[in-house]
Amino acid sequence: MNQPTILQGIKVIDLTQALAGPTCSMYLGDLGADVIKIERPGSGDMSRGYGPPFIDGESAYFLSVNRNKRSVAIDYTKAEGLAVFHRLIDGADVFINNLPRQASLDKYGLSA
């Protein structure tokens, strides 16, 4: 079966963890969007540890909701990482996040 490509050419920056956010960006990737998942250096997304079950040491849940995505670790709490993060967002069509509060976006200069 061919992969749907209705969203081909759409670039999505995904700053989500846990359930709803990764599921949303998963569907966008399933429809052909280019999804780039931002993870924390070192530990990555907290759902990497969800399980069992594990597949080759990776959480089956993490693998399922992060299919059709590319991933990059960026420390956006530091100036250099924040600059990279802003460049990614500036080139994106969609930015999805589920940071705990609006103040989190303001802190990193990501308010609309």
pLDDT at 102: 65
**Which strand (E) or helix (H) includes residue 73?**
strand 69-73
Q: What span, in angstroms and rounded, lies between the C-alpha atoms of 23 and 110?
A: 22
| Residue ranges of domains in the chain | 11-107
pLDDT of the chain, 112 residues: tens digit per residue: 677 799 999 999 999 998 899 999 999 999 999 999 999 999 899 999 999 999 998 899 999 999 999 999 999 989 999 999 999 999 999 999 987 776 677 888 877 6
Give CATH superfamily name and number for 11-107: Crotonobetainyl-coa:carnitine coa-transferase; domain 1 (3.40.50.10540)
Q: Which residues pair with 37 in a beta bridge?
A: 14, 71
Q: What is the pTM of this model?
A: 0.90
